[in-house]
Amino acid sequence: MTLNDLSQIKETELFARKKIVLRCCMAAGCMSSNSQGVKEQLEKAVIDAGLQNEIEVRGVGCMKLCCEGPLVQADPQESLFIKVTPESAPSIIASLNGGKPDVNQSDPHAAFFAKQLSIVLANSGVVDPERIESYITADGYRALHEVLTENTPKETIEIMVNSGLRGRGGAGFPTGLKWGTVAKSPGTKKYVICNADEGDPGAFMDRSVLESDPHSVLEGMAIAAYAVGADQGFIYVRAEYPLAISRLQIAIKQAKIMGLLGSGIFETPFHFNVDLRIGAGAFVCGEETALMMSVEGKRGTPRPRPPFPAESGLFDCPTLLNNVETFANVPAIYRNGAEWFAGIGTERSKGTKVFALAGKIKNTGLIEVPMGTPLRTIVEEMGGGAPDGGKIKAVQTGGPSGGCIPAQHLDTPVDYESLGKLGSIMGSGGMIVMDDSTRMVDVARFFMEFCMDESCGKCIPCRTGTVQMHNLLDKILKRKATARDLAKLEDLCDMVRNTSLCGLGQTAPNPTMSTLRFFRNEYEELLQPDTLGTDRNAS
């Protein structure tokens, strides 16, 4: 494979492109609503109308507005058809020639779409995720070619450092610094791992990227491997994502056939292979050391750090571990330059962030916005506000590890530092909206029950602390608690946060602590009336 080969593939694809392209969402959400049947009937309707030479029906990945699926968009008309059924296919085809479709349409320029800035999701809903040629037509693998033929590994790392990209898995650690640490670590064998073990309730960002644009992740991993000196990569993806797994398998096979994975990539000395490892669904395996234990075939439990994975990770070798969204950013950074990426977002939080918008909100789905976008813009303008005339009460970011941000703080910009000041975190990108019908103590108990069930049990603070906190929350909801119990709950939150071994236990108290901070009255209203005045320190 050479640069000329990439150009030839792109020219061939563009030459074969038909006058009208009907993009049909074939991501998991729309497929659960029979988008496969929609696509088949659209193809049949095209044949019945004798328009095979003018209209292409293309299966694509997530088109973002998940609540209105199945989705079909016609280009270049930009007509966006929503809640499409197989029976609507003939009228959609007829509408392309001036007819009136018997299916509703949405405005592709509405705030939900217009306020997005797509980098990670640039190809989502556009390319066919099961055809590598479609990705190449979108300038896929050109960044890898440029890196391998024009940059040294050190220069490649410098570009990443200058871009300011921070890991999108939740902690926000500088990506370039992590790459540089792995590159400097001694050892002849090094690994690159993509963490696709997305386990937060309500989160589906990584799944959608893998279903919609798997080659962007493979290309990002290959660039990272060249930078750090690795020749083997693994993608750790949970078994609950069968469509993502299938499309990854197809993408890896196609890339190997074309010489974009394997030996002598782009006729250079660089070798890189990628294999899948399927996780059984343990939330704790999203923690990097537990994940690597699982990849090794052992029980997925975390280990103390140091040593950090960058020095001693998989099979005791230096290991680079980033998540799906981090790797999906990489090709665009090397195509467009570090300064371009660093010019997006805020001073300390560069680029964009993908969120799965869910909960009590009109428009649910995937969004990608520049760092620093106010929560109010996301929730009220893009999300459309609460349904059925309700009012937004809080927004929970960061999944079970995050916190609940009250409505009075909706003007907070979405970046690592601002969310941290409010007791929440960016997390991997789950964003659950709650309206005024939501009881915040219920929310705290729900997430505590999740963490309690998912604790691996290795360390005592997490294993027993989450159980005791859940019991106290349950006691409060049953109106059997006293002010002394509430004080005990706060003490337990502090203890578990500061003494747990890994991030699961260290962040498990966050939903409880943030709801206590902003909605304390809801807790106190559930306490036994004669104990509200009890001194916290009474014995």
How many whole angstroms separate alpha carbon 326 and alpha carbon 169? 7
Please tell me whether residues 144 and 292 are part of one structural domain: yes
| 3-state SS track over 57-89 | EEEECCCCCHHHCCCEEEECCCEEECCCCHHHH
CA distances from 312 to 37, 152, 174, 323, 327 (A): 49, 24, 19, 18, 21
39, 76: one domain: yes
At which of 106, 121, 154 does a domain end? 106
CA dist 220 to 11, 192, 333, 435, Å? Answer: 24, 11, 10, 38
Classify residue 125 by its DSSP letter. T
User: For 22-38, how does the pLDDT look when each residue is reduced to its tens digit (9 = 90+)?
Assistant: 999 999 999 999 999 99
Q: Are 535 and 487 in contact (CB under 8 A)?
A: no
Which pLDDT score is estimated for 202? 85
> 391 and 337: one domain?
no
Q: Are 276 and 269 in contact (CB under 8 A)?
A: no
**Cα–Cα distance for residue pair 70/205, rounded to 1 Å:** 18
Per DSSP, the three-state class of 237 is strand
DSSP-derived letter for residue 335 is H
Report strand pairing: 430-435 vs 352-359.
parallel
Please, what sign has the CA dihedral across residues 310, 313, 316, 319?
negative
Residue 220's CATH number = 3.40.50.11540
Q: What's 191-224 look like in SS3? A: EEEEEECCCCCCCCHHHHHHHHCHHHHHHHHHHH
pLDDT per residue of the chain (539 residues) written in tens, 0 to 9: 999 999 999 999 999 999 999 999 999 999 999 999 999 999 999 999 999 999 999 999 999 999 999 999 999 988 999 999 999 999 999 999 888 888 999 999 999 999 999 999 999 999 999 999 999 999 999 999 999 999 999 999 999 999 999 999 878 899 999 999 999 999 999 999 999 999 888 889 999 999 999 999 999 999 999 999 999 999 999 999 999 999 999 999 999 999 999 999 999 999 999 999 999 989 999 999 999 999 999 999 999 989 999 999 999 999 999 999 999 999 999 999 999 999 999 999 999 999 999 999 999 999 999 999 999 999 999 999 999 989 999 999 988 989 999 999 999 999 999 999 999 988 888 999 999 999 999 999 999 999 999 999 999 999 999 999 999 999 999 999 999 999 999 999 999 999 999 999 999 999 999 999 999 999 999 998 764 554 444 44
DSSP secondary-structure letter at 239?
A: T
In a shared domain, residues 398 and 456:
no
Q: Which of 525, 518, 526 is nearest to 394 (CA)?
A: 518
Give the CATH number of the domain where residue 451 resides: 1.20.1440.230
Asked if residue 402 belongs to a domain, the reply is yes
Based on the domain organization, do 87 and 24 belong to the same domain? yes
User: Where residue 369 sits, what CATH number does that domain have?
Assistant: 3.10.20.600
Q: Does 126 map to a domain? A: no
CA 484 to chain centre: 40
What is the C-alpha to C-alpha distance for residues 75 and 127, in angstroms, rounded to an integer?
13
CATH number at residue 91: 3.40.30.10
Please provide residue 480's backbone torsions phi and psi, each rounded to the nearest 5 degrees: -110, 0
- DSSP letter at 379 equals I
| Strand pairing class (72-75; 79-81) | antiparallel
Over the stretch 111-131, which tens digit does the pLDDT of each residue have? 999 999 999 999 999 999 999
Amino acid at site 86: P
**DSSP code, position 536:** T
* Cβ 124 vs Cβ 208: under 8 Å: yes
Dihedral sign computed on CA atoms, order 186, 189, 194, 199: negative
> Which range of residues forms the domain containing residue 81?
13-106
Total domains, the chain: 4
* Residue 320 DSSP symbol: E
- What pLDDT, on the 0 to 100 scale, is given for residue 530? 60
pLDDT of residue 399: 86
Instruction: Round the average pLDDT of the chain to a whole number and report it.
Output: 95
Same domain, 288 and 310: yes
Residue pLDDT, tens place only, 260-295: 999 999 999 999 999 999 999 899 999 999 999 999
Return the pLDDT at 101: 86
Tokens linked to 260: 């974009």
Q: What angle do CA 293, 446, 355 make, to 5 degrees?
A: 70
The residue among 284, 321, 317 whose CA lies nearest residue 507 is 284
Query: In the block, which residue shows the tokens 């790392």?
Result: 157
For the chain, the first-to-last Cα distance in angstroms comes to: 75
**Residues 478, 449 within the same domain:** yes
Exposure string of 86-107, with b = 16+ CB inside 10 Å and e = fewer, is bebbbebbebbeeeebebebbe
Whether 446 and 428 share a structural domain: no
146 and 285 within one domain: yes
Is 236:291 a contact under the CB 8 Å cutoff?
yes
| Domain co-membership, 420 together with 456 | no
Domain membership of residue 7 (yes or no) is no
End position of a domain, from candidates 438, 466, 481: 438
**How far apart (Å, rounded) are the C-alpha atoms in residues 29 and 33?**
7
Of the residues 283, 315, 342, the one at which a domain ends: 342
- For residue 314, being part of any structural domain is answered with yes
Q: Whose CA is closest to 70, among 79, 78, 80?
A: 80
- Whether residue 477 is contained in a domain is answered as yes
Residues 449 and 429 in one domain: no
Q: Give yes or no: residues 338 and 253 share one domain.
A: yes
